[in-house]
């Protein structure tokens, strides 16, 4: 009999705890003011945005939580606002026990700047996503010419996937111009010549052969000996000598 009574007491105690935890506790208001905002930005190697930028944007939208009553702060509103930026891949906003608001931001990292055929300017990340809200200049390869949206996940994505694998091409490719046939001409940073790439087919092989030519030939004869390098055929580098 005693064991049954103890069992009922334990069950009743657990039920009271559950009711308190799920009904009473959420109703207790937190009237304390927010004591600080901790911002953490990741995947931001190029410094495309900083803490001050986020603070300024939140203040302009009257969403900056510093000093606001904790119970009145809606974290999801801050998240939704920040995630509307094309630069932001992910944002999480949450309250901590020390009465602070934490903002964790993951950036998209631009790898190519684009000037398209309609006159629009934007960056593209490695996933082929447009980034249109970067304010500061970035030293990245530029793609220009007859570029439309259909090329972002085709020609441009092929270029991005190849150059991202090799720091040499990130540093060496200054500009890629696409004509109306979607053939490309590369302007390098080193060497007074242009590179006729042609179509993007077999791009990896073409650039691999060109890199070998750079290291074995141009390092010997000089980077300004030729005015044009034609690599339209993937296993050949056809050179045009500069007029004297």
pLDDT tens digits, residue range 130-179? 999 998 889 889 999 999 999 988 899 888 888 888 888 888 899 999 99
Cβ proximity of 55 and 37 under 8 Å: yes
Phi and psi at residue 221, in whole multiples of 5°?
-90, -15
Q: To 10 degrees, the CA torsion angle through 84, 85, 88, 93?
A: -50
pLDDT tens digits, residue range 53-78? 999 999 999 999 999 999 999 999 99
pLDDT confidence of residue 214: 87
Closest CA to 87 of 120, 129, 119, 57: 129
Query: What is the CATH code of the structural domain delimited by 110-241?
Result: 3.40.50.11690
DSSP line for 211-223: HHHIIIIIHHH-T
pLDDT confidence of residue 139: 87
The mean pLDDT value for 201-223 works out to: 86
pLDDT confidence of residue 171: 86
100-107 and 88-95 as β-strands: parallel, antiparallel, unpaired?
antiparallel
pLDDT-based confidence at 219, cuts 50/70/90? confident
Residue 24 has pLDDT above 50, yes or no: no
CA–CA separation, 110 and 139 (whole Å): 10
Closest CA to 103 of 136, 45, 64: 64
CA–CA separation, 33 and 58 (whole Å): 17
- Residue labelled with tokens 């935890």: 21
The mean pLDDT value for 107-117 works out to: 94
Q: Which residues contact 54 (CB under 8 A, 6 or more apart)?
A: 39, 41, 82, 103, 105
- Output 223 or 166, whichever has higher pLDDT: 166
Q: In the chain, pLDDT over 70 holds for what percent of residues?
A: 87
The mean pLDDT value for 78-106 works out to: 95
- Residue labelled with tokens 């004591």: 35
Distances (CA, A) of 122 to 111, 114, 187: 11, 5, 20
Residue 190 has pLDDT above 80, yes or no: yes
How far out from the chain centre does Cα 73 lie?
A: 28
Q: Which residues contact 148 (CB under 8 A, 6 or more apart)?
A: 116, 117, 118
Residue 98 has pLDDT above 80, yes or no: yes
Average model confidence (pLDDT) for the chain? 86
Domain locations in the chain as residue ranges: 36-107, 110-241
- Output 219 or 93, whichever has higher pLDDT: 93
Q: Which residues contact 190 (CB under 8 A, 6 or more apart)?
A: 172, 223
pLDDT tens digits, residue range 226-237? 899 999 987 888
Query: What is the CATH code of the structural domain delimited by 36-107?
Result: 3.10.20.310
pLDDT-based confidence at 16, cuts 50/70/90? low
Instruction: Pinpoint the alpha helices (H) of the chain.
Output: 2-19, 51-60, 75-83, 157-163, 167-172, 203-213, 219-221
pLDDT confidence of residue 23: 47
Query: For residue 108, what are its two tokens?
Result: 């998209």
């Amino acid at each position: 009999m005693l064991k049954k009574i103890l069992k009922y007491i334990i069950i009743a105690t657990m039920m009271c705890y559950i009711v308190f935890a799920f009904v009473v506790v959420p109703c207790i208001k937190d009237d304390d003011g927010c004591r600080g905002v901790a911002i953490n930005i990741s995947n931001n190697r190029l410094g495309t945005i900083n803490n001050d930028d986020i603070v300024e944007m939140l203040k302009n939208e009257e969403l900056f939580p510093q000093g606001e009553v904790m119970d009145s702060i809606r974290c999801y509103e801050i998240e939704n606002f920040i995630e509307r930026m094309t630069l932001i891949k992910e944002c999480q906003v949450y309250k901590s026990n020390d009465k602070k608001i934490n903002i964790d931001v993951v950036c998209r990292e631009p790898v190519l700047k684009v000037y398209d055929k309609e006159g629009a300017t934007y960056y593209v990340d490695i996933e082929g996503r447009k980034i249109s809200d970067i304010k500061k200049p970035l030293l990245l390869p530029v793609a220009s010419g007859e570029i439309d949206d259909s090329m972002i996940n085709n020609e441009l994505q092929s270029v991005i996937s190849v150059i991202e694998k090799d720091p040499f091409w990130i540093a060496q490719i200054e500009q890629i111009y696409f004509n109306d046939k979607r053939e490309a001409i590369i302007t390098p940073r080193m060497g007074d010549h242009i590179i006729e790439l042609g179509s993007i087919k077999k791009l990896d092989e073409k650039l691999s052969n060109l890199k070998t030519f750079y290291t074995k030939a141009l390092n010997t004869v000089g980077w300004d000996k030729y005015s044009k390098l034609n690599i339209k055929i993937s296993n050949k580098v056809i050179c045009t000598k500069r007029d004297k």
